[in-house]
């Protein structure tokens, strides 16, 4: 039953990917005459190749910022205080908001006429470039919004890890004359490195889900600057009606995500084994 939820759609997806299925072409859903045609087209499809590259850039920068900022935030908030404990919940708000509301919020920030960001720039006599419609800045704009939304996740994970560190360790280091930075580098960081890696890995795998942000902020544009694979697959299936080809794109994307996940787990195991 549980497997059915996960496996049946996957099987259906793979079957569809072997056909030239278009909703407008009768019989195309069961045409298995050239099953690998879609997969053969992929390497020569510049939009597909570009979308993988865009996704890689988005994921890498997003994960980097989320892990770093989440860690800094966790360090700042790791204090035993009733008030701070209460305040922590509010730091989680961006992550629990409906993703489409997050996208609406950033649409607001990136729309010059009504944006507080552009107001501030105007008041300071600074000309703010159009972020979401500029080839140079569009992907950065997505990364910023994605970081805002998901930084609370890494914050949460790192905070949990920080709270397992016994106070005695840093106190002992303090007695030995270590300064703040040294304590962080030699005591705290080794302790939280595994959780930094794990939360980064989960954000990396999850980063293919930035759909609402891209849908609302840039629609993949300008051109294909922010067109990630997920969005390209969506356009193919529900905009240009190429359901069979879109399925093939999705299957390849799934295999890549699964491959990266397995690779990361394997690396984690090896690290553990090496001690």
Interface with other proteins in residues 3-22 (CB under 8 A): 3, 5-6, 8-10, 12-13, 16
CB of 86 to other proteins, least distance (A): 9
Footprint (CB under 8 A) of other proteins, residues 180-199: 180, 183-184, 187-188, 198-199
Of residues 11-70, those binding other proteins (CB under 8 A):
12-13, 16, 29
CB of 115 to other proteins, least distance (A): 9
Handedness of CA 215, 217, 221, 227 (dihedral sign): negative
Closest separation between CB of residue 183 and other proteins, Å? Answer: 4
Considering only residues 42, 64, 97, 130, which one is a binding residue for other proteins as defined by CB under 8 A? 97
Of 45, 50, 197, 202, the one binding other proteins by CB under 8 A:
202
Rounded to whole angstroms, the maximal C-alpha distance in the chain is 78
Strand partners, 242: 22
Among 27, 43, 123, 168, binds other proteins (CB under 8 A): 123
> Which residues between 239 and 258 bind other proteins (CB under 8 A)?
243, 246-247, 250, 253-254, 257
Minimum distance, C-beta of residue 153 to other proteins, in the bound complex (Å): 7
Q: Which of residues 164-183 bind other proteins (CB under 8 A)?
A: 167, 170, 174, 180, 183
- Asked whether the CA dihedral 138, 141, 143, 149 is positive or negative, the reply is negative
Please tell me the distance from the alpha carbon of residue 48 to that of residue 250, in angstroms, as a whole number: 11
Q: Which of 36, 49, 56, 84 binds other proteins (CB under 8 A)?
A: 84
Give φ, ψ of 22 to 5 degrees. -130, 140
> Which DSSP state fits 130?
-
Binder to other proteins among 42, 77, 197, 264 (CB under 8 A)?
77
Cα–Cα distance, 75 to 58 (Å, whole number): 26
Tell me which of 49, 60, 108, 262 binds other proteins, using CB under 8 A.
108
Residues 50, 235: Cα–Cα separation, whole Å: 15
166 vs 176: CA distance, rounded Å = 17
Q: Three-state SS for 18?
A: coil
- Tokens describing residue 37: 């045609």
């Amino acid at each position: 039953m549980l497997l059915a939820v996960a496996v049946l759609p996957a099987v259906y997806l793979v079957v569809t990917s072997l056909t030239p299925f278009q909703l407008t072409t009768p019989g195309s859903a069961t045409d298995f005459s050239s099953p690998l045609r879609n997969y053969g087209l992929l390497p020569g499809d510049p939009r597909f190749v570009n979308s993988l590259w865009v996704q890689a850039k988005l994921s890498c920068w997003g994960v980097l910022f989320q892990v770093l900022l989440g860690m800094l935030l966790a360090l700042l908030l790791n204090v035993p205080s009733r008030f701070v404990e209460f305040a922590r919940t509010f730091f989680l708000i961006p992550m629990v908001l409906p993703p489409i509301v997050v996208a609406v919020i950033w649409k607001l920030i990136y729309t010059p006429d009504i944006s507080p960001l552009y107001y501030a720039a105007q008041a300071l006599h600074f000309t703010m470039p159009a972020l979401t419609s500029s080839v140079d800045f569009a992907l950065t704009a997505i990364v910023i919004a994605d970081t805002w939304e998901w930084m609370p996740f890494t914050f949460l994970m790192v905070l949990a890890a920080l709270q397992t560190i016994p106070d005695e360790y840093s106190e002992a280091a303090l007695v030995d004359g270590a300064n703040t930075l040294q304590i962080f580098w030699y005591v705290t960081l080794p302790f939280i490195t595994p959780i930094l890696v794990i939360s980064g890995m989960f954000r990396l795998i999850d980063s293919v889900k930035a759909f609402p942000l891209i849908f609302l902020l840039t629609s993949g544009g300008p051109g294909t600057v922010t067109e990630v694979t997920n969005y390209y697959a969506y356009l193919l299936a529900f905009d240009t009606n190429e359901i069979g080809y879109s399925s093939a794109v999705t299957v390849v994307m799934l295999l890549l995500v699964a491959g990266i996940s397995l690779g990361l787990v394997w690396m984690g195991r090896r690290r553990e084994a090496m001690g």
